[in-house]
Amino acid sequence: MVSTQATRVDVMIIGGGVIGCAIARELSRFDASVALVERQPDICDVTSKANSAIVHTGFDAPPGSLEATLLARARDLWPAVVEDLHIPYLQTGAVMVATTQQELDAIQTEIVPKAERNGVTLHPLTADEIRENISTVTPSVAGGVLVEGEAVIDPFWTTRAYAENAVRNGARFYLQHGVTGIAINPDSVAVDTELGTTFTARIVVNAAGLWSDEVARLAGDDSFQITPRKGQFIITEDDLGIGQIVLPVPSKISKGILVTPIVFGGTMLGPTAEDLSDKTDLSTTAEGMKHIREGVSRLVPAAAGASTIRQFAGLRAVSSTGDYIVGPSPVGQRMINVAGIRSTGLSVSPALGRHVAELVAGELNLAPRPDFDPTIPELLADARPDEGDVICLCRAITRAEIMDALRSPLPPTTLDGLKRRTGAMLGDCQGNICMPRLIDLFRQELGRDPLTLAKNARGSDPVVGNIPAPAASAGRESRS
């Protein structure tokens, strides 16, 4: 039964993407009650699950912007975050490849000086040095630069680990609680959800990603708009001889089409950059795929013909102001907007989480909690030999890893949620082999009826009915 009684908290976060979850973790350092509401059945179900998974240094951020300042702060915070939350992370570095003299000039005159203003040193590379590093690079390579600090990370793990750490430190998460109304009063904010529940908070943090403008409008704040910019991707398991991120000289609107190693195996090609109006258009198109293949062929020709195991799209949240929008809403100090986190939200998450937590702590005069624990338990694939059998053959994920996800403080509610927590179904077969076993483990551990278990938030239920057991044939002879 749904309670319609108001739940009182100090801080209410709207949105369970990487930003909302990072803010929840940072706020759980303080002596305050923290709740997060998310519209989807799981956290990390919108833009935070569909990106290039690069921890950017911020070398190309607009100097002096809030984005550049927070990316610089994030560079210092990442090592401890990765260690405390055991996040899969590879310090690959990125090689920017110029194929013309004009691009080489742009690196020297625009990109290197901008990087210096952002506190990032780029190392010049000759064409021969690039060929030594990346044997498959285009024969047209003219030179480039190494961005040493760039890394690849598991974006699902990062978001889930922020959330789990917040929950272990007392934060509460409410899934499938889409916010439908916000009323800012002198001493508190009332937040209504589609389930009929009302929360009362001393401060609300609007981290609703693509919908942060619509959430702001619920409180009468019409100060910004968010438009989606689609990025399509191809995933391949072909060996392209790539150990580093390979990127072109960027354009004004996009970092361009990249070739990016994935932290848990395979290579990502993309993304495109397409301005749209529909915030739900996650379609991939023949034109998008062609554009990606043309883009990567300029860097690594072999990638153009790589076989696809999956294609997908994500939507960047582009703000009408051009920079991040972080701070109290013009309609009231009790709502903090955290919006327009366009292309660097994953990278900036430790610093943005901390920055927002400091804003809230200052406003509410919160004291740090002496018992805050920044860690989560480390999961060891072979920790329990009795659960050591491999369930996902492509990624060698054991039953112990699946069970730990199902038993965690914030367990998955969909098969894709389990995929994102464990890596099962992310490999070559995309779940064709292990999905039935995963459905069965969901049933065993969480009592989930396979008929109600969806693959993802949009449905696509894999089990549609039971095949009746064959009736025992009447006249069958028994051999005893």
Ligand X SMILES: Cc1cc2nc3c(=O)[nH]c(=O)nc-3n(C[C@H](O)[C@H](O)[C@H](O)COP(=O)(O)OP(=O)(O)OC[C@H]3O[C@@H](n4cnc5c(N)ncnc54)[C@H](O)[C@@H]3O)c2cc1C
Nearer to ligand X, 39 or 293 (CB): 39
Q: What is the x/- site pattern for ligand X, positions 130-169, by CB under 6 A?
A: ----------------------------------------
**Under the criterion CB under 6 A, does residue 350 sit at the interface with ligand X?**
no
Q: In terms of C-beta density within 10 A (0-12 exposed, 13-18 middle, 19 or more buried), how is residue 136 classed?
A: middle
Q: How many Å is the Cα radius of gyration of the chain? A: 24
We find the least distance from the C-beta atom of residue 50 to ligand X, in angstroms, to be 6
Binding status of residue 57 toward ligand X by CB under 6 A: no
Distances (CA, A) of 144 to 96, 132, 297, 419, 478: 5, 13, 17, 37, 78
Provide the minimum distance between the beta carbon of 353 and ligand X in the complex, in angstroms, as a whole number. 10
For 91, list phi and psi in degrees, rounded to 5: -80, 75
Which residues, including other chains, have CB under 8 Å from residue 375's CB and lie 6 or more apart?
84, 85, 165
**Strand pairing partners for 182?**
191
- Contact between 46 and ligand X by CB under 6 A: the answer reads yes
- Residue 191 within binding range of ligand X, rule CB under 6 A: no
Closest CA to 238 of 294, 307, 192: 307
Burial of 187 (0-12, 13-18, 19+ CB in 10 A): exposed
**Amino acid (one-letter) located at 72:** A
Q: In angstroms, rounded to a whole number, what is the distance separating the alpha carbons of residues 165 and 155? A: 15
- Residue 92 is a binding residue for ligand X (CB under 6 A): no
Q: Which is nearer to ligand X, 165 or 398 (CB)?
A: 165
Residue 254 burial (CB count, 10 A): 16
CB 197 within 8 A of CB 13: no
Nearer to ligand X, 276 or 383 (CB): 276
To ligand X, the closest distance from the beta carbon of 41 in angstroms equals: 10
Short-list 82, 75, 427, CA closest to 236: 427
Cis peptide before 377 (omega within 30 of 0): no
Nearer to ligand X, 282 or 429 (CB): 282
Contact flag: residue 47 with ligand X (CB under 6 A): yes
Helix (H) or strand (E) holding 183: strand 179-184
Query: Binding to ligand X by residue 14, rule CB under 6 A?
Result: yes
The per-residue b/e assignment along 55-89, b for 16 or more CB within 10 angstroms, e otherwise, is bbbbbbbeeeebbbbbbbbbbebbeebbeebebbb
Query: Residue 399 or 419: which CB sits closer to ligand X?
Result: 419
The minimum distance between CB 105 and ligand X, in angstroms, equals: 26
Q: Which residue, 32 or 53, has its beta carbon nearer to ligand X? A: 53
Sign of CA dihedral 219, 224, 229, 235: negative
- Asked if 353 touches ligand X (CB under 6 A), the answer is no
Rule CB under 6 A: say whether 28 interacts with ligand X. no
Considering the complex, state which of residue 207 and residue 425 has its C-beta at the smaller distance from ligand X. 207
Shortest approach of ligand X to residue 284 CB, angstroms? 12
Shortest distance, position 309 Cβ to ligand X, whole Å: 18
Q: Does 256 bind ligand X (CB under 6 A)?
A: no
230/399 with CB nearer ligand X: 230
* Contact call for residue 202 and ligand X (CB under 6 A): no
To ligand X, the closest distance from the beta carbon of 426 in angstroms equals: 17
Looking at 144, 149, 231, 248, which residue binds ligand X (CB under 6 A)?
231
Residue 178 makes contact with ligand X by CB under 6 A: yes
Q: How far is the CB of 280 from ligand X (least distance, A)?
A: 11
- Picking from 9, 96, 89, 115, the residue whose alpha carbon sits closest to that of residue 349 is 89
Q: How many other C-beta atoms can be found within 10 angstroms of the C-beta atom of residue 362? A: 9
HSE, side-chain direction, 13 A CA sphere, residue 74: 27
250 binds ligand X (CB under 6 A): no
211 or 392: whose CB is closer to ligand X?
211
Q: Is there binding between residue 54 and ligand X (CB under 6 A)?
A: yes
Give 380's Cβ-side CA count (13 Å radius). Answer: 4
What residues between 293 and 332 interact with ligand X by CB under 6 A?
314-316
Cβ distance to ligand X smaller for residue 263 or 438: 263
Sole binder of ligand X in the list 40, 99, 337, 456 (CB under 6 A): 40
In whole angstroms, the minimum distance from the beta carbon of 57 to ligand X comes to 11
Q: Which of 28, 29, 34, 56 binds ligand X (CB under 6 A)?
A: 56
Instruction: State how far the Cα of 349 lies from the Cα of 327, in Å rounded to an integer.
Output: 16
What tokens does 188 get?
């508190």
Q: Does 17 bind ligand X (CB under 6 A)?
A: yes
Residue 96's alpha-carbon distances to 79, 181, 315, in angstroms, are 24, 46, 24
- Interface with ligand X: number of residues (CB under 6 A): 40
Q: Which tokens belong to 406?
A: 């199902």
Give the interface with ligand X as residue ranges (CB under 6 A): 14-20, 37-40, 45-48, 50-54, 56, 178-179, 207-211, 215, 231, 271, 314-316, 341, 343-347
